[in-house]
Amino acid sequence: MTPKAPTALIAEDEPLLAAALQAELARAWPALQVMATVGDGASAVQQALALQPDVLFFDIRMPAMGGLEAAAELADLWPTALADGLPARPFPALVFVTAYDQYAVQAFEAQAVDYLLKPVQTARLQKTVAKLQLALAKPAQAAMDLEATLGQLRGLLAQPQAPRALLKIIQVSVGSAIRMVPLDDVVYLEAADKYLRVLTAGHEYLIRTPIKELLPQLDPQLFWQVHRGTVVRVEQIASVHRDEAGKTSISLRDRAEKLAVSRLYAHLFRAM
């Protein structure tokens, strides 16, 4: 039986750079089939789930959702259960593409994640191709691949940021007035389109500060990120639940809704 040709997905928001990478790959790895090229993180997640390629080339900086966030979202949605009697496919091998950034390069190397610098150099790409070919030649269990990737992504997303003063209040607009909401009153925060929802026991407010910008101003002992767009006050977590599919959710003390916990953050909830 002829072995299946390896497949790849390229996510790059600059068409010329995407075309250049595909051309370089065609020379360095003629057997590789590039199934699709997309220009944003959301499309990358959608196409990766639909096509389930062997390799992902994700640009770090893309509109709305960058490569790291897209990889984390994909890892959360990747199927792990048996389908049609066949085992789930292993999570794709990840290669991040980035302009030179000393801190990003150090982070990739610390987490043993492969990366390519723009513009892509032939010699460096050949080394990446050799690593990918070796990885794809080894039989592996999908769950093990996914757990290893989740650990790498946690390390990359947890890179330290410039220290900022911790917030004690959040200023929100209410009509023509500004209301001061004590952080002690906040149950959780949730991204919603261009806004961030600030939810207390009895009220909901909207602010325009992105969750990524607000996170460094929250005490990590008091607030935990449990999903890409959700941060919850730890003392507001009443209980943690796992369903038959392995999905984790939390119930709150002062609000009725349940919050989903992504695979990336499920490790926070382990019995002591």
- pLDDT for residue 228 is more than 80: yes
Using alpha carbons, select from 33, 88, 35, 96 the residue that is nearest to residue 70. 96
Both 56 and 180 in one domain: the answer is: no
Provide the residue range defining the domain that includes 37: 7-157
The distance between the two most distant Cα atoms of the chain, rounded to a whole number of Å, is 71
Both 227 and 200 in one domain: the answer is: yes
Confidence of residue 153 (pLDDT cuts 50, 70, 90): very high
What is the mean pLDDT of the segment spanning 2-26?
Answer: 92
Both 224 and 257 in one domain: the answer is: yes
Q: What is the pLDDT of residues 94-128, one digit of tens each?
A: 999 998 777 788 889 888 889 999 989 999 999 99
CA 10 to chain centre: 16
Contact by Cβ (8 Å): 187, 232: yes
Q: Residue 230's pLDDT is what?
A: 97
Average pLDDT, the chain: 90
Q: Residue 169's pLDDT is what?
A: 95
- pLDDT for residue 12 is more than 70: yes
- pLDDT for residue 143 is more than 80: no
Both 148 and 195 in one domain: the answer is: no
Q: Residue 20's pLDDT is what?
A: 95
Q: What is the pLDDT of residues 179-191, one digit of tens each?
A: 999 999 999 999 9
Task: State the Cα–Cα distance between residues 143 and 175, nearest whole angstrom.
Answer: 49
Both 92 and 144 in one domain: the answer is: yes
What is the mean pLDDT of the segment spanning 244-263?
Answer: 94
DSSP label at 86?
A: B
Using alpha carbons, select from 211, 189, 194 the residue that is nearest to residue 69. 211
User: How many structural domains compose the chain?
Assistant: 2
What is the mean pLDDT of the segment spanning 22-48?
Answer: 96
- pLDDT for residue 160 is more than 70: no
Residue 1: inside a domain, yes or no?
no
Both 58 and 174 in one domain: the answer is: no
Confidence of residue 145 (pLDDT cuts 50, 70, 90): confident
Least confident of 87-96, 213-222, 258-267: 87-96
Angle between helices 41-51 and 67-77 (to 10 degrees): 40
Contact by Cβ (8 Å): 93, 99: no
Which domain CATH number covers 59?
Answer: 3.40.50.2300
Measured at the CA of 202, the angle between CA 198 and CA 208, to 5 degrees, comes to: 15
Both 27 and 119 in one domain: the answer is: yes
State which of 103, 134, 157 marks the end of a domain: 157
Looking at 201-247, which runs of residues are DSSP E strands? 204-207, 223-227, 230-233, 237-242
State the alpha helices, DSSP H only, in the chain.
15-28, 41-51, 67-77, 102-110, 122-137, 142-157, 211-214
Strands 93-98 and 55-59: parallel
Q: Which has more pLDDT, 1 or 248?
A: 248
Q: What is the pLDDT of residues 47-90, one digit of tens each?
A: 999 999 999 999 999 988 999 999 999 999 998 876 555 567 88
Both 136 and 199 in one domain: the answer is: no
Please give the model's pTM, rounded to 2 decimal places. Answer: 0.85
Contact by Cβ (8 Å): 41, 62: yes
What percent of the chain has pLDDT above 70?
A: 92
Residue 72: inside a domain, yes or no?
yes
Kindly give, in sequence order, each residue whose CB lies less than 8 Å from that of residue 269, ignoring residues fewer than 6 positions away: 240, 248, 250, 261
Q: Residue 162's pLDDT is what?
A: 60
Q: What are the structure tokens assigned to 214, written together?
A: 């607000």
End-to-end CA distance of the chain: 50
Both 243 and 143 in one domain: the answer is: no
